[in-house]
Structure 1
Amino acid sequence: MSVKWEKHEGNEGTLTFALPAEDFNKALDAAFKKVVKTVQAPGFRKGKMPRKMFEKMYGVEALYNDALDIALPEAYTKALDESGIEPVAQPQIDIQEIEQGKDVVFTAKVVVKPEVELGDYKGLEVEQLSKEVTDAEVDEFLQSRQQAFAEMVVKEEGTIENGDTVTLDFEGFANGEAFEGGKAEQYDLEIGSGSFIPGFEEQMVGMATGEEKDIEITFPEEYHAAELAGQPATFKVKVHAIKTKEIPALDDELANEIDASVKTVAELKEKTKEDLAEQKAVHSDNSMRDALVQQAADNAKIDVPEEMVEAEVDRMVQEFEQNLQSQGMNLDLYFQFSGQTKEQLREQMAEEASNRVRVSLTLEAIAAAESIEATEADVQAELEKMSEQFNIDTEQIKAVLGGTATIENDIKLRNTIEFLVDNAKISEIQE
């Protein structure tokens, strides 16, 4: 099969390739066997119409589309292998010549993986966050744990403050008309949580139990309900109860409730310091590695194709939706509550997606430049680790993953990042 690759400006090019006449004829035979099952001809049972009669009645051209559906994917794959290019999006394929008994000639407009011109990636300088844990950090963490054990108590006197939870009735009006979804009774709202439309919670501060008030707000321009977006509205509210958090004192009893493995506050503080030190060490190392990778990517010259960015955004949206589902939510509900649209979410993710692609391409280029690979021993060790973690046989893992390519790529990525670390100049920030 003749293959010709002509690179154009940027990351696009034209791939010219042919489907051999012999393969096209086999595809026509297969297409006829498929199509004839649906054809009813006088004097023949369905599916038994002779090939010559079919071609006489409908023409061999009637089989071309089905034949190409059968043969084109393999022909295109072979052309990619022969040309050595790596497409990053679906091609736009056009037929240049097609005739029974002859090679079928195609041209495909293809967007390929961009070339990476590496900049400096050895000897990069990075500051690593301190791994030391201060007494103030321990106290701050334990205060948050005390908050978790707080009880809500009704505030008998006083007015609403930030952090209070208020039980209220409300009804919203726009242009004097009540609008759908703008009414609730005995609703619990934490003031300062940012759950309601901007300006609503702030205007409740200072209200007392039993008090009624009109709250004037303006809906955001990007509000999900188009008829309310950017419009002024009035909410009539009535406060039924004000509840505040009563935080327990940190004594030995609470220390044991927070962590059953300790008996005293002193033991809790010591264990907390050890736990925070482990967490801080992991965070410090991860931040340092991220900074090195980002520097290497920033130093590289890459013309990132929009198609790769869009594909990465697709993955990010999918990840985001999976995270929502784990919280009992979905994208439609998220858009309803946040006032965002899917297009706005994708636009918000585009910059990070572009950077992810740059980082991935840079690390791949460094691995190639430094001949960094995943050894068989590395792969086997990873398989055994996964086997122990998920209690699945290593052969089953390979079957699920369709081989070890994914594991090899992950290991190569980790090894490349470690190469950056080993060749970097790292200094610790003292806090």
Structure 2
Amino acid sequence: MKSTVEHLSPTRVRINVEVPFDELKPNFDRAYRKLAQQIRVPGFRPGKAPARVIESRIGRAPILDEVVQEAIPSKYMEAVTNSEIRAIGRPDIEVTKIEDGDLVAFTAEVDIRPEITLPAYGELSVAVDDLELTDEEVDEQLDELRARFGTLTGANRPAETGDFVSIDLSAAVDGEDVADARTSGLSYEVGSGNLIEGIDDAIVGADQGEVRTFTTKLLAGEHVGKDAEVTVTVQSVKVRELPDADDEFAQLASEFDTIDELRADLRQRLSRVKQMQQGVQARDKVLEALLESIEVPLPEAVLNAEIESRKHDAVHVFDHDDAKFNEFLEAQGKTPEEFDEELRADAEKAVKTQLILDSIAEAEQIGVNDSELTERIIYQAQRFGISPDEYVKQAQESGQLGAIFADVRRGKALATVVRQAVVTDASGNTVDLEELFGRPEPAAEEAPEAAVAEDPAPDTEGAVNK
């Protein structure tokens, strides 16, 4: 086989391939066996008709077509491997010549990962927030723990923020009842913001049995984006009484004997959370610094595929009903043109991020071991509320296992850069991120987890996967 590569742009090539017929003999053998199973030839059992008999019955053209269709994918991959180009996305293949008994020629245009000049990671410098922990924050954590052991008692007064109410809800659009919005006996914490906009203002000050109405925009259902008149009936008002923050509570709610020990533990846990947040902030800022410091030509076909994927996900929520989607945008104060501009900008950033991290992973020879891949699968399965086995099955069926592998590798690539970048807090102190991002790994087979556990990697999955 002979192949040559033409560079059409920094991100796209045309591969010209010529395959001599003597390399296609295995393909011809498989084609004849396949067609022999499909064709009934008098005097021969199914699958036993000789090649010359099959050819005499159906002609040469169907056989050549079967051979070419089977051979091209493997010959294309062979050409890509031999040329050492880094192809991404699906190729556009065109058969240009079939000379029976001589050769088959075809071209394949495909996007490639562009050459990227990477900066010296140690020259990247970012600042993150100071690690501050106040007594008030510890008190908030303690109050949340006390709330788990609190009791609800009836309040002989109008509802206030923080109360728990039982409510009935109904809504009407243009005087027509919205069936999906009707509910009764709903328990709600006033001020939590977990229901529709405007409901907290309507409930505060309402007494048991009182009915109030307010207007709000619906964010889902067939009337999405439209103004609805909502009626809320307060059936009961209850206040949560918290246990005293004393040694007895500490013994009830934890393994500690005193409230001071419990507070100390809460402070330590909060400190770890803030360190984690600081690490995530450092990771995100280092990524932004990378994006700003590197020029990357974007493969147009890959970018367009990412745009279409994001647009599909956005309208899928509305059953691909453009009218409902536009009503939703209007409710958000956004035009379709503005949405398209934002979507394209986000897609460009995602593709650029992946191209840069892939280049770093290749330059640093970063690998992914089984335990790292398993950890990501478990993490993703928990996010979607399914078992790891089910998640793997779905990923295999959708062809996304490669994307999961690539995403873990990119997370490790970014962690490699973060470890070498200069990270300081707002006060100018150097931030030690070794506990979060680990030491530089000695070998891919013994790689420690290189990303923040609760937030493994920036969401780069789905745009560029070889």
- Say if 1:334 and 1:128 are closer, same or farther in 2 by CA, change over 3 A: farther
2:138 corresponds to which residue? 138
Cα distance in 2 for residues equivalent to 1:332 and 1:276: 36
1:372 corresponds to which residue? 364
Residue aligned with 1:89, SS:
strand
Residue aligned with 1:88, SS:
strand
1:59-99 Cα distance to aligned partner (Å, 9 max, x none)? 12112343234322210111001221111101111111123
2:14 corresponds to which residue? 14
Does residue 428 of structure 1 match 2:430? Answer: no
Bigger mean CA deviation after superposition, 355-364 or 294-303:
355-364
2:270 corresponds to which residue? 276
Q: State the AA in 2 paired with 1:199.
A: G
Contact 2:5 2:83 in 1 (8 A): yes
Q: State the AA in 1 paired with 2:295.
A: K
1:386 CA drift (Å): 9.5
Q: State the AA in 2 paired with 1:273.
A: R
1:267 corresponds to which residue? 261
2:114 corresponds to which residue? 114
Contact 2:164 2:190 in 1 (8 A): yes
- Say if 1:257 and 1:383 are closer, same or farther in 2 by CA, change over 3 A: same
Map 1:75-114; keep pairs closer than 5 Å. 75-114=75-114
1:396 corresponds to which residue? none
Identity of aligned residues (%): 24
Residue aligned with 1:287, SS:
helix
Map 1:2-401; keep pairs closer than 5 Å. 2-119=2-119, 121-131=121-131, 133-158=133-158, 160-220=159-219, 223-225=220-222, 228-260=223-255, 262-305=256-299, 307-308=301-302, 354-366=348-360, 372-373=364-365
- Say if 1:414 and 1:385 are closer, same or farther in 2 by CA, change over 3 A: closer
- Say if 1:285 and 1:199 are closer, same or farther in 2 by CA, change over 3 A: closer
- Say if 1:308 and 1:149 are closer, same or farther in 2 by CA, change over 3 A: farther
- Say if 1:411 and 1:73 are closer, same or farther in 2 by CA, change over 3 A: closer
Contact 2:250 2:258 in 1 (8 A): yes
- Say if 1:27 and 1:365 are closer, same or farther in 2 by CA, change over 3 A: closer
Cα distance in 2 for residues equivalent to 1:34 and 1:415: 46
1:30-50 Cα distance to aligned partner (Å, 9 max, x none)? 111012112123343333333
State the Cα RMSD in Å: 4.1
Residue aligned with 1:237, SS:
strand
Cα distance in 1 for residues equivalent to 2:31 and 2:218: 59
Q: State the AA in 2 paired with 1:21.
A: F
Contact 1:87 1:113 in 2 (8 A): yes
Residue aligned with 2:264, SS:
helix
Residue aligned with 1:117, SS:
coil
- Say if 1:412 and 1:182 are closer, same or farther in 2 by CA, change over 3 A: closer
Q: State the AA in 2 paired with 1:254.
A: F
Q: State the AA in 2 paired with 1:207.
A: A
Contact 1:88 1:307 in 2 (8 A): no
2:449 corresponds to which residue? none
TM-score under structure 1 normalisation?
Answer: 0.74
Residue aligned with 1:189, SS:
strand
Contact 1:171 1:235 in 2 (8 A): yes
Cα distance in 2 for residues equivalent to 1:103 and 1:45: 33
1:139-185 Cα distance to aligned partner (Å, 9 max, x none)? 23223322333333322222x33333322223322333323313222
- Say if 1:333 and 1:6 are closer, same or farther in 2 by CA, change over 3 A: closer
Q: State the AA in 2 paired with 1:281.
A: Q
1:286 CA drift (Å): 4.1
Contact 1:163 1:192 in 2 (8 A): yes
Cα distance in 1 for residues equivalent to 2:371 and 2:214: 62
1:201 CA drift (Å): 4.1
Residue aligned with 1:96, SS:
strand
1:418 CA drift (Å): 4.2
Cα distance in 1 for residues equivalent to 2:286 and 2:168: 53
Cα distance in 1 for residues equivalent to 2:308 and 2:148: 37
Cα distance in 2 for residues equivalent to 1:384 and 1:200: 47
- Say if 1:206 and 1:350 are closer, same or farther in 2 by CA, change over 3 A: farther
Q: State the AA in 2 paired with 1:233.
A: A
1:412 CA drift (Å): 9.2
Cα distance in 2 for residues equivalent to 1:385 and 1:231: 47
Cα distance in 2 for residues equivalent to 1:58 and 1:419: 61
1:264 CA drift (Å): 1.0
Contact 2:150 2:240 in 1 (8 A): yes
Contact 2:372 2:408 in 1 (8 A): no
| Total equivalences in the alignment | 385
Q: State the AA in 1 paired with 2:39.
A: V
Cα distance in 2 for residues equivalent to 1:215 and 1:420: 50
Q: State the AA in 2 paired with 1:258.
A: A
1:378-411 Cα distance to aligned partner (Å, 9 max, x none)? x8xx7799999x9xxxxxxxxxxxxxxx999968
1:203 CA drift (Å): 2.4
Bigger mean CA deviation after superposition, 92-101 or 145-154:
145-154
Residue aligned with 1:181, SS:
helix
Cα distance in 2 for residues equivalent to 1:91 and 1:27: 21
1:395 corresponds to which residue? none
Cα distance in 1 for residues equivalent to 2:65 and 2:232: 66
Residue aligned with 1:47, SS:
coil
Q: State the AA in 2 paired with 1:239.
A: V
Structure 1 stretches of 5 or more lacking a match?
A: 321-330, 391-405
Cα distance in 2 for residues equivalent to 1:411 and 1:210: 58
Q: State the AA in 2 paired with 1:116.
A: I
